[in-house]
Amino acid sequence: MPVPDSETRLDEAALASLLASGSGWTRDGDTRTKIFTFKGFKGAMAFVNRVAEAANAANHHPDIHLERYKTVRIVLTTHIAHSLTDADIALARTIDTVERPTDVEHREPERPPGVEKA
């Protein structure tokens, strides 16, 4: 089955530029992944529902993983293209806009036992 014209494969230069933007998305082969951590289950599920609505509107559906009870991992790829496409990038941008900063828990990195904050 051919890749739809509306889903253009991205070349390596375009992918490198997007990943260098500092948006928190990472690349693993033909996927783009981002992990979101919320204050609790309710915030995580509300975010999952907002992502689902955005994905349906875009007719481009990511893998959505609820991990533990407050962490959501989003994985984007265009399966038919076996690659990342402009549809993945557009949906990543939309997902970043539906994330509500008040829902997100910002934590300092964990320190090993016995190591105090400087």
Output the pTM of the full model: 0.73
The domain in which residue 88 lies consists of: 25-103
What is the rounded average pLDDT for all residues in the chain?
A: 80
Output the pLDDT for position 110: 47
**Is 41 contained in some domain?**
yes
Per-residue model confidence as pLDDT tens digits over 50-106: 999 999 999 999 999 999 999 999 999 988 877 888 889 889 989 999 886 554 554
**Is 110 contained in some domain?**
no
Q: How confident is the model at residue 13 (pLDDT cuts 50, 70, 90)?
A: confident
For residue 115, is pLDDT > 50?
A: no
**Is 9 contained in some domain?**
no
CATH number of the domain that 51 lies in?
3.30.1360.20
**Is 111 contained in some domain?**
no
- For the chain, the domain total comes to 1
**Is 19 contained in some domain?**
no
**Is 5 contained in some domain?**
no
Residues 70-73: contacts with CB within 8 Å, 24+ apart? 70/37, 70/38, 70/39, 70/40, 70/41, 70/43, 70/44, 70/105, 71/35, 71/36, 71/37, 71/38, 71/44, 72/35, 72/36, 72/37, 72/38, 72/44, 72/47, 72/48, 73/33, 73/34, 73/35, 73/36
